[in-house]
Amino acid sequence: MSELLYLLFHFGNIVIFERHHKPTMQDIYIETERLIIRPLNMGDDKGMFAMDSDPLVHKFVGNKPVEKIEQSRDTIAFVMQQYEDFGIGRWAVAEKATNDFMGWVGHKYMKGPVNGHSDYDDFGYRLARRFWGKGYATESGKAALDYGISNLGMKDIYAMTDINNKASRHVLEKLGFRYTGNFNYDAEPNWRTPGELTTWYKYGD
């Protein structure tokens, strides 16, 4: 059988993903011209901490930079658990020339509800500041998006970003996401910027 339907039981709900096969983490290895995309692992803790302790990185994602490396390890553990539970989760981005950790990109299972959506695929990215402005979010985003659609059978993909996060909104539009409106992300006060709207995007039609 070339395609498998499999069921995930999550908090009492049954989530059905249609995939070519249930992905394992060793499946995820993508090379682009300048980047490598691979699973996050605990060895990325220092890179994650360097990125997430930078206030500018957190300016549009809740404005609460991390203070201890243990917080970064908790984030990595959370993502690794998502790999186990859902077969997806944000992937690490590394610079091909140096193998340096740059940040993360990709698909995250969202239980929701967020803006009226539940059990959906959220697309996102985050890079350490020294890697900004070189087209890396677009390059890694395109590769992760293509992989999700072609290899993981993803169909309905959504993204959201702070209304003032112009760089992120521009990246989403370059990747082919369509802006569909704004909403108040009140359910997640640690993520949103207080008093600001969050934009909502859908990939494709």
Ligand X SMILES: CC(C)(COP(=O)(O)OP(=O)(O)OC[C@H]1O[C@@H](n2cnc3c(N)ncnc32)[C@H](O)[C@@H]1OP(=O)(O)O)[C@@H](O)C(=O)NCCC(=O)NCCS
Q: Which residue ranges make up the site for ligand X (CB under 6 A)? A: 57, 60-61, 124-127, 132-138, 161, 165-168, 170-171
Distances (CA, A) of 8 to 52, 130, 149, 161: 31, 38, 19, 28
**In angstroms, rounded to a whole number, what is the distance separating the alpha carbons of residues 195 and 81?**
32
Q: How far is the CB of 172 from ligand X (least distance, A)?
A: 8
Residue whose CB is less far from ligand X, 86 or 131: 131
Which of 143, 173, 24 is closest to 89 using CA atoms?
A: 24
**Residue (17 or 165) nearer to ligand X, CB:** 165
CB of 161 to ligand X, least distance (A): 4
Least distance between ligand X and beta carbon 145 (Å): 13
Instruction: Name the region of 99 (left: φ>0; alpha: ψ -120 to 50; beta: rest).
Output: left
> 93 near 130, Cβ under 8 Å?
no
For ligand X, give the closer residue by CB, 22 or 64: 64
**What single letter denotes the amino acid at residue 175?**
L
Closer CB to ligand X, 119 or 139, in the complex: 139
Shortest reach from residue 189's CB to ligand X, in Å: 16
